[in-house]
Amino acid sequence: TVRTQTPASAAQLQSALEAAQEAVQSNDGAALAAARTRAWTALLNSAQQIVQQAVADGDIKLARSWLLVREFRQATRFSRPNADATLALAALERNEITTAQAAEAIRADLYDTYQARLTEALRNISAADA
């Protein structure tokens, strides 16, 4: 599915996996970490595109399965994990919202999660640098 529906991301993923293999063979931990990050990012990009296309096509089963390939926000006692994307797919399946509304809810949920994870990573870097 990745290769057929998201060829650019598939090429990035393949390149990252090849770089990871080279890093392992040369015992280069930093290069392996960089390649792992590139591979994961390419896979996340593919998953998001596949989910959005599946929603547009009305293929809720495919959208639901690929929605699992994502980052999840850390739950705390002050914040709940966001389930808006999952709820949007359920509402779309019940014909309670349009595909455009579902697509927007999914996009917002994923972007919110990625922004929170990036903010958390930047906070960790600042703390480590202090």
Give the model's pLDDT for residue 130: 65
Amino acid identity for residue 99 in this structure: T
* Token pair for 26: 């040369």
- In the DSSP assignment, the letter for residue 1 is -
- In the DSSP assignment, the letter for residue 26 is T
CB 107 within 8 A of CB 55: no
Mean pLDDT of 54-78: 88
Mean pLDDT of 41-61: 96
- Predicted confidence band of residue 75 (pLDDT cuts 50, 70, 90): low
What's this model's pTM, rounded to 2 decimal places? Answer: 0.84
Q: What one-character-per-residue DSSP string does 83-103 give?
A: -HHHHHHHHHHTTSS-HHHHH
Q: How far is CA 87 from the centre of its chain?
A: 17
CB 109 within 8 A of CB 84: yes
Give the model's pLDDT for residue 24: 98
Length in residues, the chain: 130
Mean pLDDT of 72-95: 82
Give the model's pLDDT for residue 114: 85
Least confident segment among 49-53, 71-75, 120-124: 71-75
- Predicted confidence band of residue 87 (pLDDT cuts 50, 70, 90): very high
Can you tell me the distance from the alpha carbon of 68 to that of 75, in angstroms, rounded to the nearest whole number?
17
Can you tell me the distance from the alpha carbon of 58 to that of 44, in angstroms, rounded to the nearest whole number?
21
Rounded-to-10 torsion of CA 12, 17, 18, 22: 140
pLDDT tens figures, 90-129: 999 999 999 999 999 999 999 888 888 888 888 888 887 7
